[in-house]
Amino acid sequence: MIFMMYVIFLQPIGFLSELLKGVSQSSIEIKKMKNQHTLLAVFVAAGALVLLSNSSGVAHQQNKDRTGAPGSDNTCQQCHAGGSFAPEVSAFLVVEGDIALSGEYVPGATHTLVVSVSASGSPQGYGVHGTAVLSDGSNAGTFNDQDPNDCVWLDEVDGRHIFEQNDLCPNGTFEIEWVAPAEGSGPVSVYAATIAANGNGTSAGDAFAGGQFDFEEMVTSVDDLAMELFEVRSGLNGALAVNAQEGLVISVLTLDGRILFDGALEAGSHTVNLSHAGLAIVHAVSASGAVQSQKVWF
């Protein structure tokens, strides 16, 4: 009788032991799952930090303007530092495909803004973040994304137009199509913040170079081309219109030095057919010795 009761009493205890064992194993499994999820979260967070410091620009990733223009946030130099690449940045404007302008822009015309970064050592790639503004800090003209397959894209931060890299670019030459503001807008400043990157996925070990590049509005109106004794202006279909009160010796050259016309003209009105499109330099000397050199847009 006592033996039977002992057996009956042990059965619930065995059942309870198995139950507790199962609960314990479940707790271990849950703990393992939590640890795995925590580890996964750490990897995801680390990956996010890597992505944040890599490839596309801060306007796209952070909604920040770090160009160095008036009213912008701290430049990229705040984070990207420590590298020994010693980069240098320059910027210039090109029209008609191959004519580089020297510190000027043609109002209303389409230009190619070229931002070039050179560096010592062997950076793995380059980044750019820039804008163009008028003297009051407002947008100067507009940018066009003329090549969707290059490593430059357009963005906007608080209404300011931004151009920047959409990936780590293998070389330091960036070309952006820019339509200049209308006549009478005045000087334009291009601000460019650039990076020579070591490609390790973080900002450490990169090198920064930034700059401000100013362009004056080119004089293109007929009134501003007027001379005391003679006048030159662009005519139709690439022709040069000349109005002289006395004889002239006149030379017309492209910005890369090609001679379009070189000869003498008598007093009176003349049309010199050049079949030229773009910029040219007109150099004229009158019979009385008056001299004038002027850039003319055809």
For residue range 76-99, what is the model confidence (pLDDT) as tens digits? 767 777 778 989 999 999 886 666
The confidence score (pLDDT) of residue 148 equals 82
The confidence score (pLDDT) of residue 126 equals 94
Residue 230 maps to which CATH number? 2.60.40.3080
Do residues 75 and 47 both lie within one domain? no
Do residues 205 and 251 both lie within one domain? no
Domain tally, the chain: 3
Domain of residue 270, residue span: 223-297
Do residues 67 and 186 both lie within one domain? yes
The confidence score (pLDDT) of residue 50 equals 34
Do residues 80 and 167 both lie within one domain? yes
Last residue of a domain, one of 217, 252, 269: 217
The confidence score (pLDDT) of residue 48 equals 33
0.75 surpassed by pTM: no
The residue ranges of the chain whose pLDDT is under 70 are 1-56, 77, 96-99, 220-229, 255-256
Do residues 138 and 209 both lie within one domain? yes
Do residues 133 and 233 both lie within one domain? no
Selection from 194, 161, 167 nearest residue 179 by Cα: 161
The confidence score (pLDDT) of residue 225 equals 40
The confidence score (pLDDT) of residue 51 equals 32
Last residue of a domain, one of 14, 31, 52: 52
Checking DSSP bridges between strand 160-165 and strand 248-253, what pairing results, if any?
Answer: unpaired
Residue with tokens 């009788």: 1
Residue with tokens 């930090």: 49
The confidence score (pLDDT) of residue 88 equals 94
Do residues 203 and 235 both lie within one domain? no
Checking DSSP bridges between strand 173-179 and strand 230-234, what pairing results, if any?
Answer: unpaired
**What does the alpha-carbon distance between residue 227 and residue 1 come to, in Å, rounded to a whole number?**
134
Do residues 210 and 237 both lie within one domain? no
